[in-house]
Amino acid sequence: MANMIATRDAYGEALKELGGICEDIVVLDADLSGSTKTSVFKKEYPHRFFNVGIAEQNLIGTAAGLATAGKIPFASTFAVFAAGRAFEIIRNSVAYPKLNVKIAATHAGLTVGEDGATHQALEDISLMRSLPNMVVLCPADAVETKKCIYKAAEYKGPVYIRLGRSKVPVIFDESYEFEIGKGVQLKEGSDITIIAAGVMVAKALEAAERLEKEGISARVINMPTIKPIDKDIIIKAAKETRGIVTAEEHSIIGGLGSAVAEVLSENYPAHMVRIGTMDTFGESGDAEELMEKYGLSVGNIVDKSKKLLSK
Amino acid sequence: MDKYSDLRKIASKLRTDIIEMLREAKSGHPGGSLSACEVLTALYFKEMRVDPNNPEWPDRDRFVLSKGHGAPVLYAALAEKGFFPKEELMKLRKTGAMLQGHPDMKGTPGVDMTTGSLGQGLAAANGMALAGKLDKKDYRVYALIGDGEAQEGIIWEAAMLAAHYKLDNLTVFMDHNRLQIDGLNKEVMNIEPIDEKFRAFGWHVINIDGHSFEDIFNALEEAKNTKGKPTMIIANTVKGKGVSFMENQAGWHGKAPSEEEAKKAIGEIGGVING
């Protein structure tokens, strides 16, 4: 059994490390520092941590102002409130002026679990991806999260980083190299390609193993940068395999699946199927049970892959 | 002797520029630009530490026009101060021009924050003031908000934060001209008692005549001497100030003057028509 760590925990650790390296790093939260793990930074660097209270619009607006003065603000809250409630502040005060604000949104997707639909962001990637100047990252595990946070801090401009609440398997070791805008092939395969992001990467790897046992060679691509998307790796996969399956803990509308479909349709039309939530809200429940119920499962990836190949 | 005669001349110049810009652009917001001319003149031509040759000087005082639709008065002041050539003013709002309909910090030297969507500028000003405190810099942050703008929820989120973090390096003016697009504030959505509201939020509040330089400078002095809390200067103003047919008319919030109207307006302002 792999080591299990939530990406939000890795975020807190990365912030703490970065805080020691770079004096300009400041962190803002909207009364959720215990949940988003920005409290880890706060404990170490209290004078560089600002709680704005339950006020997500002000969270982003204040971060924008700090960025104009040379700070590198990481603003955190749940993905629903960051991308949703504060959307227009992100658009006009961060993305349009291309300010150096990092929005690290935790509790994305169904794995929020028991809190239910109001707190399960399934459209945040779609919203953030549509903004000019915005980089959108969705790391798969704790190792990748740390590397994402470091790269986001180095990058000059707005970055949205999507993180999760639940513990997920650690799939990378420290030698893993992350680069903004690059997909990573995790497994070779010649029949079909599974492109996944976030918590679905571990499931894609498991699905590929199962497919292998059934004689189907599945390539697995991890796509931690949803924007700018790595076109080359997608087109190459379309050329070399017979179909593309995308898997994400997000609506099939506007997220990774849409981004891949856009690349394929304009460059190398291929058979594809998108796995994600099917234009629906979530509900309360155990995280893994919800993932099963909404089709974000190893079984569904296997089924959809086989169906696609039978076309 | 009128100790403010030079500043008065500048304010008239700004008013003339505003009318000419809007006549050329054939759209824009004259009312709330004209009401803020004395405040902008006081800030840019006496109060603020800025350098037109080094617009991004880290130690400069900052100004955020949170009521971004007042862009014409900001542009007129920045051009007059020498941040960019005056010819740019006549290209306002035109395709490919530097001067956007609302302030764009990336495209226009001297603009400290991109604004236009109401309420957001105050939050950004807070961020600048926090950064100043963190870096132990002595620069001051100024912002101008509208009175109708105080209907935005983020204004009150930001008002809480500024008091909570004791941002005494932040001074905000409210251009209290009592009018917004749909009419009087009190008829659209009453904001009064606005001074009591900010006071209750922990601000030092000063009520002034927003067209009196004497009042403006006294208030700025008081703000600098106020420790431990931000200052809100409620500048009671006349929308469309200086142009008889625009004064106190909600209809002139977002409408450009015709050639004929511009001529009449500039005549009243006492400015010289440039073209």
Count: domains in chain A: 2
Q: What pLDDT digit, counting tens, does each position of B84-143 carry?
A: 999 999 999 999 999 999 999 999 999 999 999 999 999 999 999 999 999 999 999 999
Give the range of the structural domain holding residue A268, as residue numbers without chain letter: 184-309
In a domain, B274, yes or no: no
| A280 close contact with B: CB closer than 8 A | no
> Is the minimum CB–CB distance between B188 and chain A shorter than 8 Å?
no
Task: Copy the structure tokens of residue A178.
Answer: 């992350």
Residue with token string 């659209």: B188
Domain boundary pick from A145, A169, A193: A169
Mean pLDDT of A275-286: 98
Q: What is the pTM of this model?
A: 0.97
The answer to whether B190 faces chain A, any CB pair under 8 Å, is: no
pLDDT > 70? residue B272: no
CB of B143 less than 8 A from some CB of A: no
Give mean pLDDT, residues A172-177. 95
Which residue in B119, B124, B129 is closest to A64 by CB distance?
B124
Same domain? For A268 and A149 the reply is no
- The nearest alpha carbon in chain B to A99 belongs to B106
Residue B225, SS3 per DSSP = coil
Q: Are residues A88 and A229 in the same domain?
A: no
Say yes or no: A116 and A25 in one domain. Answer: yes
So what's the pLDDT on residue A162? 98
If pLDDT is split at 50, 70 and 90, which confidence band does B274 have?
A: very low
Residue in chain B closest to A93 (alpha carbons) equals B114
Please say if A56 is a catalytic residue: yes
Q: Is residue B275 situated within a structural domain?
A: no
Report yes or no on B184 lying in a domain. Answer: yes
Among candidates B112, B116, B161 on the partner chain, residue whose Cβ is nearest the Cβ of A92: B116
pLDDT tier at A2, thresholds 50, 70, 90: confident
Q: Which of A13, A44, A56, A249 is catalytic?
A: A56
* Residue-averaged pLDDT of chain B: 96
pLDDT above 70 covers a percentage of chain A that reads 100
Interface residue B154 vs chain A (CB under 8 A): yes
For residue B114, which residues of chain A lie inside 8 Å, CB to CB? 92-93, 96-97
**Same-domain pairing of A235 and A132:** no
Asked whether residue A155 falls in the same domain as residue A235, the answer is no
| Chain B residues 110-129 with a CB less than 8 Å from chain A | 112-114, 116-117, 119-120, 122-129
How far apart CA A138 and CA A142 sit, in angstroms, is 11
- Amino acid at position B94, single letter: K
Query: A188 and A153 in one domain?
Result: no
Nearest CB to A48 within list B126, B134, B164: B134
**Beta-carbon contacts of residue B6 (< 8 Å; ≥ 6 apart):** none
Residue A154: inside a domain, yes or no? yes
Residue A178, domain member (yes or no): no
Report the pLDDT value the prediction gives residue B1, as an integer from 0 to 100: 65
pLDDT tens-digit map of B177-228:
999 999 999 999 999 999 999 999 999 999 999 999 999 999 999 999 999 9
ipTM above 0.85, yes or no: yes
Given a contact cutoff of 8 angstroms between Cβ atoms, the answer to whether B128 and B142 are in contact is no
Return the CATH number at A81.
3.40.50.970
Are B49 and B14 contacting, i.e. CB atoms less than 8 angstroms apart?
no
Residue among A301, A258, A289 at smallest CA distance from A110: A289
- Residues A67, A164 within the same domain: yes
Say if the Cβ atoms of B153 and A57 lie within 8 Å. yes
* pLDDT value of position B12: 96
Q: Domain range holding B33? A: 5-269
String of DSSP letters for chain A: ---EEEHHHHHHHHHHHHHHH-TTEEEEESS-HHHHSTHHHHHH-GGGEEE--S-HHHHHHHHHHHHHTT-EEEEEEEHIIIIIITHHHIIIIIITTT---EEEEESBSGGGGGG-GGG-BSSHHHHHHTSTT-EEE---SHHHHHHHHHHHHHS-S-EEEE--SSEEE----TT----TT--EEEE--SSEEEEE-TTHHHHHHHHHHHHHHTT--EEEEE--EEES--HHHHHHHHHHSS-EEEEEEEESSSSHHHHHHHHHHHH----EEEEEE-S----SS-HHHHHHHTT-SHHHHHHHHHHHHT-
- Residue A176 in domain: no
Which among A110, A112, A138 is positioned nearest to A281, based on CA atoms? A110
pLDDT of residue A225: 98
Does A60 reside within a domain?
Answer: yes
Q: What is the CATH number of the domain that holds B109?
A: 3.40.50.970
pLDDT at A311 (0 to 100): 84
Q: Do B135 and A69 touch (CB under 8 A)?
A: yes
Q: Does A137 lie in the same domain as A230?
A: no
Q: Are A235 and A114 within one domain?
A: no
Is any Cβ of chain A less than 8 angstroms from the Cβ of B153? yes
Q: What percent of chain A has pLDDT over 90?
A: 99
Kindly state whether residue B165 falls inside one of the protein's structural domains: yes
Is A202 inside a domain boundary?
A: yes
Task: Provide the pLDDT for residue B213.
Answer: 97
Q: What is the pLDDT of residue B275?
A: 37
pLDDT, tens only, B149-184: 999 999 999 999 999 999 999 999 999 999 999 999
d(CA A70, CA A129): 25
Question: Which of residues A140, A169, A198 is at a domain's end?
Answer: A169
Alpha carbon of A22: minimum distance to chain B alpha carbons (Å): 14
Residues A220 and A145 in one domain: no
Q: Are residues A17 and A123 in the same domain?
A: yes
Counted domains in chain B: 1
**Does residue A175 fall inside a structural domain?**
no
In a domain, A207, yes or no: yes
CATH number at residue A294: 3.40.50.920
Residue A91 lies in a domain: yes
Partners of residue B119 in chain A, C-beta under 8 Å: 57, 61
Q: Does A98 touch chain B (CB under 8 A)?
A: yes
Interface A-B: count of C-beta contacts within 8 A: 109
Compute the average pLDDT of residues A134-153.
98
CB contact under 8 Å between A48 and B157, yes or no, is no
Q: Are residues A189 and A158 in the same domain?
A: no
Give domain status of residue B248, yes or no.
yes
Contact B126 A55 (CB under 8 A): no
